[in-house]
Amino acid sequence: MFTTTTIVRLATEGEEHNPLLPEWIEVILALVVFLLLVLAFRKWVVPNFEKTYAERTTAIEGGLKAAETKQAEADAKLAELDRQLSEARHEAARIREDAREQGATIIAEMREQAQTEANRIVEHGKSQIEVERQQAVASLRAEVGALATGLAGRIVGESLDDEARQSRVVERFLDELESGEVTATGAGSGSTSASTNGSGAR
């Protein structure tokens, strides 16, 4: 029984073989092997390659999207920080202005209180001085009245124990003393009048 190869070999034995051309059976076998390799490549290699490529593409796209998201979040946070910084600057400026206004108000209130206290002290001092002056005048009136009463009693030559008479003499003397009407002439006339009154009394 002859095989295909034997038949092909017997058919070609009578012909001269060209060494530059391959055997047609080798070409067929090469094509079969190539087709098997292509089928195997398409069945196992290409799907794995496409799967790996898709995964890499998805990973890259996901990374780019994540980077864009992170960049957007960073930009939003930066804008928020800028806004907060601007608000903090405005708040600090407002606090400084409020502190300046409050300081001016406090200074004005302290000046007003100091002026009020100074006025109160001055008024109290004036009142105290007036009280002391009145006390001094009253004391001086009493001393001068006693001296004037004694002097008048010696000049007149009679006692001025009567309180009404003593008060009138003292008041008249002090009034003349304050008005400056007590002069040497007045004193002389008073002496003459006193002498006359003394003579009349005798």
Number of domains into which the chain is organized: 1
**Does residue 29 belong to any structural domain of this protein?**
no
**Does residue 184 belong to any structural domain of this protein?**
no
Residue 157 falls in which region: left (phi positive, over 0), alpha (psi -120 to 50) or beta: left
**Does residue 169 belong to any structural domain of this protein?**
no
Closest to 182 (Cα-Cα) out of 167, 168, 172: 172
Q: What is the pLDDT along the chain (202 residues), one digit of tens a residue?
A: 445 555 445 455 545 556 667 678 888 998 999 999 999 888 888 888 888 888 999 899 888 988 999 999 999 999 999 999 999 999 999 999 999 999 899 999 999 999 999 998 998 888 889 888 888 878 877 777 777 677 766 666 555 555 666 666 667 766 776 676 544 334 444 444 444 444 343 3
**Does residue 22 belong to any structural domain of this protein?**
no
**Does residue 170 belong to any structural domain of this protein?**
no
Parent domain of 121: 45-146
Q: How far is C-alpha 54 from the geometric centre of its chain's CA atoms?
A: 61
Query: What token pair was written down for 122?
Result: 């001055």
Q: Determine the residue type at 128.
A: Q
Question: What distance in Å separates the CA atoms of residue 49 and residue 87, rounded to the nearest whole number?
Answer: 56
**Does residue 32 belong to any structural domain of this protein?**
no
Q: What is the pTM of this model?
A: 0.35
**Does residue 58 belong to any structural domain of this protein?**
yes
**Does residue 142 belong to any structural domain of this protein?**
yes
